[in-house]
Amino acid sequence: MTQGSYVTYEVENDAAVIRLTNEERMNALSEALIDELTAAVERADGDDVRAVVVTGSGDAFSSGYDLRESGGRAETGPPTVEAGLDRQNRALELFTTIYELDLPVIAAVNGYALAGGSDLALTCDYAVASERARFGYPGVRMGGLTLSLVYPFRMHVNHARELMYTGKLINADDAERIGMVNRTVGHDELMDSVWDEVDAIKKVPSATVQLTKHMLNGVMDMQGYRPAVKNSGYIATLSHHTEPGKKFFEIRDEEGVGAAIEWMNSVDKP
CA 226 remoteness from chain centre: 16
Q: According to the model, what pLDDT value does residue 73 have?
A: 45
Q: According to the model, what pLDDT value does residue 221 have?
A: 97
Residue 74 pLDDT greater than 80, yes or no: no
| 182 phi, psi to nearest 5 deg | -75, -35
Q: Which residues contact 194 (CB under 8 A, 6 or more apart)?
A: 53, 55, 106, 108, 128
CATH class of the domain defined by 2-266: alpha beta
Instruction: Categorize the per-residue pLDDT at 71 as very low, low, confident or very high, splitting at 50, 70 and 90.
Output: very low
Q: According to the model, what pLDDT value does residue 1 have?
A: 80
Q: According to the model, what pLDDT value does residue 233 have?
A: 83
For the whole model, what pTM was predicted?
0.94
Residue 67 pLDDT greater than 90, yes or no: no
Q: According to the model, what pLDDT value does residue 253 have?
A: 86
The model's pLDDT over 105-133, given as tens digits with 9 standing for 90+, comes to 999 999 999 999 999 999 999 999 999 99
Residue 80 DSSP symbol = P
The model's pLDDT over 226-268, given as tens digits with 9 standing for 90+, comes to 999 989 888 887 887 889 988 988 898 889 889 999 999 999 9
Beta-sheet pairing, 169-171 with 60-62: unpaired
Q: According to the model, what pLDDT value does residue 262 have?
A: 95
End-to-end Cα distance, the chain: 50
Nearest of 159, 151, 53 to residue 109 by alpha carbon: 53
Q: What is the mean pLDDT of residues 145-156?
A: 93
Please state which of the ranges 166-170, 217-221, 226-230 shows the lowest mean pLDDT: 226-230
Of the CA atoms within 13 Å of residue 191, those in its CB half-sphere come to: 11
Residue 159 pLDDT greater than 80, yes or no: yes
Return the domain boundaries, the chain: 2-266
User: Is residue 6 a contact partner of residue 21, using CB atoms and an 8 Å limit?
Assistant: yes
Q: What is the mean pLDDT of residues 142-170?
A: 95
Mean pLDDT of the residues in the chain: 93
